[in-house]
Structure 1
């Protein structure tokens, strides 16, 4: 199991450099490259080429790819709108934030992986976390329950978005997907005697990712709300 990194680029403030490059420019280029190549396809050489710069010049701004991943993840998180209309109830505001988070992760399928493998301490990530925590504190959570609620909601969205992106990347043909679901349904029906609950209740024909996501989020929020004041 890989050991966590003892450091992150956010522990080192950016020093004044020549105006040609900056962390911001590197972050934007890294997001664009990751959208095309994915995490495995990002290299310092490819990133430098996208920036029309020498590979070694990047090392004046970052120590290596892990720093680039930190920058890219924070740049993508910046796409989540943190403005909340005055008077919006905490649950509605949280739902709004989490729906946007899923949308961002679908636009950038590499993001859930990076979020799960590094501390999210960049300025945009911290601003999002501040809003997120504030809404749950407003609802009445604190201490271990607050931490658990934040984690549960975060991991639900990350996991759902990662699963959805993986499925969509492999199942691009709607007719092929429908045929696979039909055959899976028939297979499960043949197992009805040994797996009666699955055969009766599993909805293998349901390809509504949006509806499933919203229903699952509602169930999680119901659980959080039911525990308020206990």
Structure 2
């Protein structure tokens, strides 16, 4: 099998070119994206990335480990499960993922109707997250997202904390101290953060809200995907 040549082997010393040598192959950055919010098993990664085969996933994970971006850990007994995680350096790639999201949201070819994994929806929200206005009351919302692409998947739970210092969304497991609890499919929630239309909070059967609905609207306003409006943009008129 032919060995893939690097940009460095062509005497290109640019750091951006070296970054592409590390994460520029197909699926590599997508795998990183799916690990940004925490470790996952091999099968979970494969289910969260439709289209990737086990051989390609295994090879890319090996390459990421070899580069020092990802690490493989075996949990102690009784689980004894192998998990894949990012190193501290690998987690710094969230800034790259966010920058790509902020850039690509202006594309007239952005596949607005395509679905996303729960983590990917939340990463998009984090990329576009904005702090509350000065003097606004802080809010905490529990968000449970079920992957619309795969049947019988358990919901993934996140905690959104909104304050004047910033809006933060993290993966979590159970919290009673929240203003609202939202349960939604990824497709329905993605539509909300893209469209700006808040009426599905009242009418969509795939979204349920317990608690303060206004807090949920504040979350949507603080994380809605935004881009400069320009000709041909899906966010234009």
Higher strand share: 2
Higher helix share: 1
* TM-score normalised over the length of structure 2: 0.29
The structure showing larger relative contact order (alpha-carbon pairs under 8 Å, at least 6 residues apart) is 1
Larger Rg: 1
